[in-house]
Chains A and B, each alone.
Chain A
């Protein structure tokens, strides 16, 4: 587990939006999807997911519906709303900008200054 990184503040929401953008998921499914797409690199305590999910629902970015899971358990499935999809695009874009700026900044060498 020691090679797992702590989540940067604010990134959990974006990860959830990303995970859900690929198709409706229940909470546990969101966790599995994030683990999958990040290559198990990020540590998220399971319970911590839910406050974030509810926050996104409240902001109208996600909508939830009860359904049945693949192994026949009742579960609540989340998917993006239109507003959620729009927000996801914006957030992705701004993350890309920040991250490329950060990467460039950290890669700077003495002679380039």
Chain B
């Protein structure tokens, strides 16, 4: 009987006992000894005397509390004592503790990850000074500023910007001395770094003074990451000459760490002056006003006092006047200026992150509802303890503070766990390269903001569910509870818990419904007809420009490559397509096509703007694109033969009224060249999976050679073996040519990426929702069974059947589950309409989805109520009634 047990728990030993508390314990102990001495003298034996002394002393715990308070125990002391007690209480109910912490970790983790993604994509734009003053046109906005001459007019004639810069992406072979490797760069205007206001890490940047006409500035600025990985942080790299597509370039500088160009999800290797762009990118003409491939985005720094709206009007006015001055080349549609970083993906990225936030918010809500009912049940189980403490003189304030401390403790533990998980996940995401070989990355880097958000979420949700049981405590009448035992009456507090549970099940059902809709949509889009057959097809990307091939040497080399591939045993068909095959890298080119009798080739007179592909003989056969009528190309369709084209069915219908009537007809290109349609192939998907009967036109490569393209190889051989054979054959043709061999299916991953991401996110969130509702229903069912054990015992003793017992024990849980699921299903179907924008062919009017949701929710219910049901059925009335 040394110290009060309160001070001797292992947990208390863990916290260093304060001297004051020690001394107080000593003093009270001394008091009891002195009193016992007196009692002993009056004739009691020692043990009896000590016992009596302790009884006379009264409620020791309360007096210790009050004494500490009287001493003005500081906030921290009180907190430590509260925390100690909370830890002791929580250790007594590990099931509750684990369920609560896990639930919260799940919710906080999900929200922290989503916040991290939002932070990376939307909140934290480029790491440059005063980024909010940067605005510009973006890829594919139709404003006309993807042509270099138009950009120059914008730069020189606007009244809104201090200066306007522009950049494009280039894909080159970079050779530091007999080690050519593909590299991605930005070709940027001379003022690029000046407009961004950043300074080099090493050496210097290029500036407008370096630009002295076409190909006048063969300089390279490396990104810090590329300098690190390819040049091993060699500071002597400045001044070194490397080969870019066989052209010599001098490295002049290294960009600062963390600067990865002006597209958030692309990490380039280097920057080069745009005046040298034509050397490495034949598409990137600096003279054509009609080009849409010479510039990716433009951006400028607003003059002080100029608003974004004024700048937008200014830019559109310049675009409109250019379109008026050069009607044949320039077309302009009004654009909205955006901050650089997300370019054309600004809106989809915002929508995606917004959707994710909504869903993870729902998860948090469901988790809070879950925790609220967990806490309410926990508090109800402790009502007797609370009543006893109240009866023994503890104040309600003290008990409430205790409950809140427990809630906060749980939320902080859950928050910490969730935060750790989300950090791990975000770090993985930031190093994740979704597409091998493409310089894409997800720009997330967890930082201090994430801590703050996670802790704030944890504390807020802790307080939210912590106050659920407060009313219970405030209303608790100690005399009633102590006298009657735990109350068998289900009062109003059960109603609150019921509502929480229904809400939570509904949220879960929404998530399950949306994830099923997304998965079904994805599966269906994978099975849809692409207009080609990606299975069993390998692609070999060969940019002959990287090996220095020009003009006349391109076509023969490509033919040699095709023949080399054909010589591989097991290869059935081989063809070539310039630039990119359909559905690869969401890159497709369109061309204006005119009726045969049109003479004024201005944009406004174009009869159609089909996707344009240049393909070699054998391409349709290798790609598995079915010919509907006429013929495909042959090698004799060359420069000396009349220009021909193959149309797809949609183009044939649009231009000539029917598929059969198109063959032999003529149309014109913008440059006036007359094309004769020699065949019609089936429709397909070109730019993206959402393409719906888009017109397309195919030209023979011998009439439009380009040094950059993909070989399409059809073979039923093992892909690994085939890829190795293809690489070695290409090496035989030119050992200095970097090639890129991949299956067409794997290249589709880019177009499938948004849908896959959405589906994966929804799947994970749906799974979380499912776990949460299992714990919720389980908690509710287990609680109601344990509360009604006596009643169930009596029922069984009176001869109730098993089904009746089950109905009595679980009827409520099942009813709540049904109501919640039905509500969630309806909401989920409504919410799924939004999904159509992300996941192609997602539809909620799908019997399989409906059946799947009902099945999933029933399974969840069955799973969650199984153990409580077993417990209800195993009630032994005799033992139970005797115990009570």
Closest to B63 in A: A47
Residue pair A51, B69 in contact (C-beta under 8 Å): yes
Residues of chain B lying within 8 A (CB to CB) of residue A46: 31, 35, 56-58
Q: With an 8 A cutoff between CB atoms, is B305 at the interface?
A: no
- Binary CB contact string for chain A from 47 to 61 against chain B (1 if under 8 A, 0 otherwise): 110111111011000
Contact B70 A58 (CB under 8 A): yes
- The answer to whether residues A47 and B27 also contact, given A58-B71, A73-B34, A73-B37 and a CB cut-off of 8 A, is no
B70 touches A75 (CB 8 A): no
For the complex with contacts A46-B57, A54-B70, 17 further pairs of A-B residues with Cβ separation under 8 Å are: A27-B30, A27-B31, A48-B58, A50-B31, A50-B67, A52-B70, A54-B67, A71-B37, A73-B33, A73-B37, A74-B26, A74-B30, A75-B27, A75-B30, A75-B31, A76-B23, A76-B27
Q: Is B230 interfacial (CB 8 A cutoff)?
A: no
- Interface assignment of A3: CB less than 8 Å from any CB of chain B: no
- Check: A33 CB closer than 8 A to any chain B CB: no
Question: Which range contains the number of B residues in contact with the other chain?
Answer: 20 to 34
When chains A and B are docked, how far (Å) is the Cα of A43 from the Cα of B789? Answer: 46
B34 touches A47 (CB 8 A): no
How far is the CB of A78 from the nearest CB of chain B, in Å?
Answer: 10
List the B residue with the shortest CB-CB distance to A52.
B70
| B28 interfacial contact with A, CB 8 Å | yes
What are 8 contact pairs spanning A and B, CB under 8 A? Answer: A26-B30, A28-B30, A51-B66, A58-B70, A58-B71, A69-B30, A71-B37, A74-B30
B30 contacts A76, C-beta separation under 8 Å: yes
Q: A48-B63, A50-B63 are in contact. Are A26 and B34 (CB under 8 A)?
A: yes
Is B35 within 8 A of A28, CB to CB? yes
Across the interface, name the chain A residue whose C-beta is closest to B41: A71
B37 touches A50 (CB 8 A): no
Q: Mark A76-111, 1 if CB is under 8 A from B, else 0.
A: 100000000000000000000000000000000000
Tell me, yes or no, whether A112 is within 8 Å of chain B by CB: no
Q: Is the beta-carbon distance between A50 and B27 smaller than 8 angstroms? A: yes
Q: Which residues of B contact A26 (CB under 8 A)?
A: 30-31, 34
What is the interface of chain B, defined by CB distance below 8 A to chain A?
A: 23-24, 26-28, 30-31, 33-35, 37, 56-60, 62-63, 66-67, 69-72
Task: Enumerate chain A residues within 8 angstroms of B62, measured Cβ to Cβ.
Answer: 47
Contact across chains for A28 and B60 when beta carbons are under 8 A apart = no
Chain A residues, Cβ within 8 Å of B70 = 51-52, 54-55, 58
With both beta carbons as reference points, the residue of chain B lying nearest to A46 in the complex is identified as B57
Q: How far is the CB of B44 from chain A (nearest CB, A)?
A: 16
Instruction: Say whether A28 contacts B31, CB under 8 Å.
Output: yes
* Residue on B nearest A56 in the bound complex, by CB: B70
In the docked arrangement, what's the CA distance between A50 and B29, Å? 12
Chain B residues closer than 8 Å to A51, beta-carbon distance: 63, 66-67, 69-70
Instruction: Give the distance in Å from the alpha carbon of A83 to the alpha carbon of B784 in the complex.
Output: 62
- The 5 A-B residue pairs with the shortest CB-CB distance, nearest first, are A47-B63, A51-B66, A47-B58, A55-B70, A54-B70
Q: Could you tell me the dominant secondary structure of chain A's interface residues?
A: helix
How many residues of chain A are within 8 Å of chain B by beta carbon? 22
Across-interface contacts of B59 in A (CB, < 8 A) = 47
**Complex Cα spacing A47 to B58, Å:** 6
Interface string of A35-49 (1 = CB under 8 A from B): 000000000011110
For B30, B35, B69, the residue with the greatest tally of chain A CB atoms inside 10 Å of its CB is B30
Per the bound structure, the CA–CA distance linking A53 and B56 in Å amounts to 18
CA distance A52 to B71 in the complex (A): 10
CB neighbours of B31 from chain A (8 A): 26-28, 46, 50, 75
Q: Which residues of B contact A73 (CB under 8 A)?
A: 30, 33-34, 37
Of the candidates B24, B28, B34, B60, the one having the most CB atoms from chain A within 10 angstroms of its own CB is: B34
Residues in B whose Cβ lies below 8 Å from that of A76: 23, 26-27, 30
Q: Chain A residues in contact with chain B, CB under 8 A?
A: 26-29, 45-48, 50-55, 57-58, 69, 71, 73-76
B84 to chain A, nearest CB (A): 20
Cα distance A51–B64 when bound, in Å? Answer: 8
- B56, closest chain A residue (CB): A46
CA distance A45 to B58 in the complex (A): 7
Asked if B34 and A28 make an inter-chain contact with CB atoms under 8 angstroms apart, the answer reads yes
The interface residues of chain A lying within 8 Å CB-to-CB of B34 are 26, 28-29, 69, 71, 73, 75
Of the listed residues A26, A47, A51, A55, the one surrounded by the most CB atoms of chain B closer than 10 A to its CB is A47
CB neighbours (8 Å) of A45 from chain B are 57-58
With A and B bound together, what is the CA distance between A58 and B24 in angstroms? 14
**Minimum CB distance partner of B35 in chain A:** A28
**Chain A's nearest CB lies how many Å from the CB of B773?**
49
Q: How far is the CA of A51 from the CA of B71 in the complex (A)?
A: 8
Q: How far is the CB of A37 from chain B (nearest CB, A)?
A: 18
- Minimum CB–CB distance for A35 against chain B, Å: 11
CB neighbours (8 Å) of B33 from chain A are: 73
CB distance from B285 to the nearest CB of A (A): 87
A93 to B23, CA, bound (A): 35
Q: Which residues of chain B have C-beta atoms less than 8 A from A74's C-beta?
A: 26, 30
A53 to chain B: which residues have CB within 8 Å?
67
| Residues of chain A within 8 A of B28, CB atoms compared | 47, 50
| Least CB separation from B53: chain A residue | A46
Q: Closest chain B residue to A32 by CB distance? A: B38
The docked-state distance in angstroms from the alpha carbon of A48 to that of B66 is 9
User: Quick check: B71 and A54 within 8 Å, CB to CB?
Assistant: yes
Known: A51-B63, A71-B37. A27 touches B58 (CB 8 A): no
Which residues on A sit within 8 Å (CB–CB) of B60?
Answer: 47
Residues in B neighbouring A28, C-beta threshold 8 A: 30-31, 34-35
Q: Which residues of A contact B69 (CB under 8 A)?
A: 51
Alpha-carbon distance A57/B62, docked complex (angstroms): 19
Looking at the assembled complex, report how far the CB atom of A25 sits from the nearest CB atom of chain B, in whole angstroms.
11
* Distance, CA A52 to CA B23, complexed state (A): 16
Tell whether, in the assembled complex, residue B57 and residue A47 are in contact, meaning their CB atoms are under 8 Å apart.
yes
The interface residues of chain A lying within 8 Å CB-to-CB of B23 are 76
A55 CA / B58 CA spacing, docked (Å): 19
Look across to chain A and name the residue whose beta carbon is closest to the beta carbon of B28. Answer: A50
A41 to chain B, nearest CB (A): 18
B26: chain A residues within 8 A (beta carbon): 74, 76
A contact residues around B71 at 8 Å (CB): 54, 57-58
- CB-defined contacts of A29 to chain B, threshold 8 Å: 34
The CA-CA distance from A71 to B37 in the complex, in Å, is 8
A47 cross-chain contacts in B, Cβ below 8 A? 28, 57-60, 62-63
Determine the chain A residues whose CB is within 8 A of the CB of B24 once the complex forms: 50, 54
A72 to B, closest residue via Cβ: B37
